[in-house]
Amino acid sequence: MARNGRKNVGDSIALALASGATIAQAAEKAGCSPRTVYRRLEDLSFGKAVAELRSQMITQAAGQLAARMGEAVETLQTLLKAESENVRLGASRSILEMAIRFREQLEIDERLRALEEYLGRNK
């Protein structure tokens, strides 16, 4: 029973840390001492598990954001026709900034893909 309880504590600590909690907050959420959290973090496999959990959470959140991107673009397009010059300016600025960042990201992705391809061929 204690072994299962320790696993639950470990899972609680991992979830709290992956969610951005501090050591003290993670300990409080898991019902253990901060020292227990520090001890868990000394285990490399536990640290990897926390990182993997965080990665899964970020991937899920990114998916939720992607699902709403169309609505966000439609809102910005609507704001381009607003009466207020400040609102139109803000929408215009947002669209331009996002377009530039999007293009930069595409270029980085293309370059990374080409580099990975090159490295894969030259092993």
pLDDT surpassing 70 at residue 110: yes
Encode pLDDT of 38-70 as tens digits: 999 999 999 999 999 999 999 999 999 999 999
Q: Mean pLDDT across the stretch 69-93?
A: 95
pLDDT the model gives residue 4: 52
- Torsion sign across C-alpha atoms 10, 12, 17, 22: negative
Taking the model in full, what pTM does it have? 0.63
pLDDT surpassing 80 at residue 92: yes
Task: Check: CB of residue 4 under 8 Å from CB of residue 18.
Answer: no
CA 38/CA 104 separation, integer angstroms: 39
pLDDT the model gives residue 114: 96
CA 5/CA 21 separation, integer angstroms: 21
